[in-house]
Chains A and B, each alone.
Chain A
Amino acid sequence: NAGVTQTPKFQVLKTGQSMTLQCAQDMNHEYMSWYRQDPGMGLRLIHYSVGAGITDQGEVPNGYNVSRSTTEDFPLRLLSAAPSQTSVYFCASSLGRTGPNQPQHFGDGTRLSIL
C-alpha cells in the first residue's frame, strides 16, 4: 500500500497564480482532510471531507477550495496565491465508519512558497 500520496513535494508560485495540490489514498478511507503547518502554530485544518461528494470548512478555509468526486482523491486548490499561503501542506485520511477514535494517516507534505 502506498498510503497517502501528495504531489508535488515542492512548489514555488508567484503571487496571483493558481494551482492544485494533489492528494490520493489507497486505503478506502472515508475521511480526508487538508492541514497547513506553520512554525509555532501546529497544524491547522483547512478543509475536510467525510465522504465522496461531501466537503466542509475547517479552521482556515479562506483562499482554498476542495472537491471530493471519488473516495480516493481530495485535491486542494489555491485560487489566487498570496505570500501568506507559504506553508507546508499535509493531507490526511482515516476510517470514518468506525468512529473518531481512528488515527489519521498523513502524507509527506507539499512545501509551497509564494513569491
Chain B
Amino acid sequence: AQSVTQLGSHVSVSEGALVLLRCNYSSSVPPYLFWYVQYPNQGLQLLLKYTSAATLVKGINGFEAEFKKSETSFHLTKPSAHMSDAAEYFCAVRGFDYKLSFGAGTTVTVRA
C-alpha cells in the first residue's frame, strides 16, 4: 500500500519569500504523485502531478515539484510567495489500484 507524509502542518512565509512544502512517499511500485491546493470552503484543485516523464514538474500558479527517488520525496516549491497562495496544500499518491492516499495537509499563511 502507498502512503505520503507531509512534514509540517503549518508554514508561514513572508510575501516574496520561497515557499517549500515537504512530502515523502512510501510505495512498493513506481508512484503517481500529486499536489492539490484547497482554498477556504472550496474543493481541491490540482496543482501538478508526477507521472515519470520528468523529475521536475511544473504546475499552475508558479509552483513546481521535484521527484527524488533516492529520497522518496516530492517537495513542492514556489520561488516567490504571493498573498493569494494562502491555502491548504495536500500531497497525494495513487497506485495501480486507483486509490488516492492523502497526506494530512500543510496550511500556508503569507505575511505582508
Contact = CB atoms under 8 A, between A and B. Distances in A.
A105 B100 CA distance: 12
A106 interface: yes
A42 B43 contact: no
A63 to B, nearest CB: 19
A77 to B, nearest CB: 21
B102 A42 contact: yes
Contacts of B96: 100
B22 to A, nearest CB: 15
B94 interface: yes
Contacts, number: 56
B99 A106 contact: no
A100 B98 contact: yes
A74 interface: no
Interface residues of A, number: 26
Contacts of A43: 44, 90, 102
B9 A42 contact: no
B28 to A, nearest CB: 14
A41 interface: yes
B34 A103 contact: yes
Contacts of B102: 35, 42-44
Interface in B64-112: 90, 94-105
Nearest to A91: B43
A103 B46 contact: yes
Nearest to B33: A101
Contact of B99 (A4, A48, A90, A109): A48
A103 to B, nearest CB: 5
11 contacts: A4-B43, A33-B100, A43-B44, A48-B98, A48-B99, A50-B98, A92-B44, A100-B95, A100-B97, A101-B32, A108-B42
Interface of B: 9, 32, 34, 36, 41-46, 49, 51, 90, 94-105
